[in-house]
């Protein structure tokens, strides 16, 4: 059986794209908010629960893990007789405790009134955002320069808010009549089972936005905002540290009409160094930068253990070093597409090296140089192994998640690949199928593919045919 070139190319693209598509599909499946269901066990009892993903062993043994109303996880053995979606039940994620589940019985206001029905539903959807905003405004420190009286007044206002906030509650009841309470200001998400496809999409999109724009808390709520920010800053810093010097080196070597031994050696060595695994660069960074220069800086400035434990600066230098050969090789290839006769004509007209570089080479190869820089960023973004060795944080806050490390050049820094390989989130995230880990991997894959796609488009864009 004979295959055409087009068929072979289609098979190759399918083979390369299949892992990414599988990752994105699994991420999309896990990001759909779970729906509370009425579980009817074989002994006739009924209770609310959310079905969790089964492991291969649980499938073989006929067992099903479920999330109960109080946030605990229970394994049902055997699998219940039926599980039907309860459109009246809510699933609530909060800051100060595990998720809660139940039917909304009412909402207690500051005045002590209990709202019910549609009024309670609107209060549950609208009041948490307002109360969280009020709490965040009161929690801010008084402006610098204000006296002690203003600070005491701000503390009293915060105490009054906390006293009132403890009385503003949402009441949820289980099928057996058990009532559980949640402070409205602590509620991050409150969702019901979707009534249809459009309603499911309407719930999933805000849920995805919260995962991208909020920081995680100690109970598995929130999302990846500080991790995404840390990854983008780290990649851009690596482009400044390694990409820009590589572009300057390519331009310095390209303004010669007759490339000599040095130019050929640099071109060959850049291809060799581009093949060095990232973990080797990580070991070099850990030994030279963290264990050598970092410890020396801590001793000189007597600042305690700061630079000697790694940090974003060392990570950026390490990624810049491993991506610089890729940028240099792509940049020299882009410059090679500029006809050599243009440089010879410019030199024969009396142009200096700087004028040839600025008026001939740089305008003609600008798109290719930008594409080479993007290609280096894609290589840096896709490397995770060296970051384990130069100080990437594997936890977020004292309890494993919670407040993230600040964007600082020293100390721990956050990266999507590191936290996806070594997830710090609570056990509940694992029971739900690790949606944050899969989302981290999907975002990292999309970032690398997007950067490389931009690089290829720029590198293969047709250059001008004449000198302007």
Q: What is the rounded distance in angstroms from the CA atom of residue 396 to the CA atom of residue 385?
A: 19
Q: What is the rounded distance in angstroms from the CA atom of residue 208 to the CA atom of residue 192?
A: 16
Secondary structure (DSSP) of 305-353: SSSTT--HHHHHHHHHHHHHHHHHHHHHHHHHTS-HHHHHHHHHTT--H
Q: Which residue has the tokens 């810093």?
A: 237
pLDDT at residue 259, as a whole number: 60
pLDDT at residue 323, as a whole number: 92
pLDDT at residue 218, as a whole number: 52
Mean pLDDT, 10 residues at a time, over the chain (468 residues)? 68 76 78 82 82 81 84 81 84 81 89 87 86 76 60 80 86 88 85 76 77 66 79 93 91 66 74 84 87 82 71 90 91 84 79 79 87 93 88 59 58 82 63 75 90 89 52
Q: What is the rounded distance in angstroms from the CA atom of residue 176 to the CA atom of residue 183?
A: 22
Burial label, 319 (beta-carbon count in 10 A; 0-12, 13-18, 19+):
buried
Q: Which residue has the tokens 């973004």?
A: 381
pLDDT at residue 403, as a whole number: 45
pLDDT at residue 233, as a whole number: 92
pLDDT at residue 229, as a whole number: 87
Cis preceding linkage at 78, omega within 30:
yes
pLDDT at residue 427, as a whole number: 55
| Count of beta carbons in the 10 Å neighbourhood of residue 347 | 16
Task: Quote the pTM value.
Answer: 0.77
Complete domains list, the chain, with CATH: 37-141+155-193 (no CATH), 225-459 (1.10.3720.10)
Decide: 392 and 413 in contact? Cβ < 8 Å.
Answer: yes
Q: What is the rounded distance in angstroms from the CA atom of residue 65 to the CA atom of residue 431?
A: 8
Q: What is the rounded distance in angstroms from the CA atom of residue 394 to the CA atom of residue 45?
A: 43
Decide: 377 and 369 in contact? Cβ < 8 Å.
Answer: no
């Amino acid at each position: 059986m004979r295959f055409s070139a087009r068929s072979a190319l289609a098979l190759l693209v399918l083979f390369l794209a299949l892992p990414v598509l599988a990752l994105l599909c699994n991420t999309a499946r896990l990001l759909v908010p779970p729906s509370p269901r009425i579980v009817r066990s074989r002994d006739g009892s009924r209770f609310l629960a959310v079905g969790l993903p089964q492991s291969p062993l649980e499938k073989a043994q006929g067992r099903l893990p479920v999330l109960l109303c109080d946030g605990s996880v229970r394994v049902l053995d055997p699998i219940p007789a039926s599980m039907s979606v309860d459109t009246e039940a809510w699933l609530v994620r909060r800051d100060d405790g595990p998720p809660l589940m139940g039917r909304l019985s009412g909402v207690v206001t500051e005045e002590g009134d209990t709202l019910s029905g549609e009024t309670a539903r609107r209060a549950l959807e609208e009041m948490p955002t307002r109360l969280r905003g009020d709490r965040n405004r009161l929690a801010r420190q008084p402006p610098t320069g204000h006296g002690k009286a203003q600070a005491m007044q701000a503390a009293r206002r915060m105490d009054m808010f906390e006293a009132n906030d403890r009385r503003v509650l949402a009441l949820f009841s289980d099928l057996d009549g058990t009532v559980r309470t949640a402070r409205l200001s602590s509620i991050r998400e409150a969702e019901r089972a979707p009534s249809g496809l459009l309603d499911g999409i309407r719930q999933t999109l805000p849920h995805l936005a919260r995962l991208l724009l909020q920081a995680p808390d100690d109970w598995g709520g929130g999302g990846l905002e500080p991790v995404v920010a840390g990854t983008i800053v780290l990649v851009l810093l690596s482009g400044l540290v390694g990409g820009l010097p590589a572009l300057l080196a390519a331009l310095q070597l390209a303004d010669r009409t007759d490339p000599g031994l040095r130019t050929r050696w640099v071109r060959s060595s850049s291809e060799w160094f581009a093949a060095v695994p990232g973990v080797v660069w990580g070991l070099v960074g850990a030994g030279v930068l963290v264990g050598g220069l970092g410890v020396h800086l801590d001793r000189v400035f007597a600042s305690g253990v700061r630079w000697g434990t790694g940090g974003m600066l060392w990570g950026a230098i390490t990624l810049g070093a491993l991506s610089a050969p890729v940028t240099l090789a792509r940049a020299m290839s882009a410059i090679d597409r500029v006809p050599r006769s243009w440089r010879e004509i410019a030199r024969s007209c009396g142009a200096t090296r700087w004028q040839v570089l600025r008026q001939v080479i740089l305008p003609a190869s600008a798109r290719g140089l930008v594409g080479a820089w993007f290609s280096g960023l894609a290589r840096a973004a896709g490397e995770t192994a060296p970051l384990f060795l130069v100080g990437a944080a594997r936890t977020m806050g004292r309890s494993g998640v919670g407040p993230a490390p600040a964007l600082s050049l020293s100390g721990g820094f956050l990266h999507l690949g590191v936290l996806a390989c070594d997830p710090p989130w609570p056990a509940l995230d694992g029971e739900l199928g690790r949606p944050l880990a899969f989302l981290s991997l999907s975002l990292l894959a999309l970032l690398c593919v997007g950067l490389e796609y931009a690089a290829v488009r720029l590198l293969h864009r047709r250059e001008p045919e004449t000198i302007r």
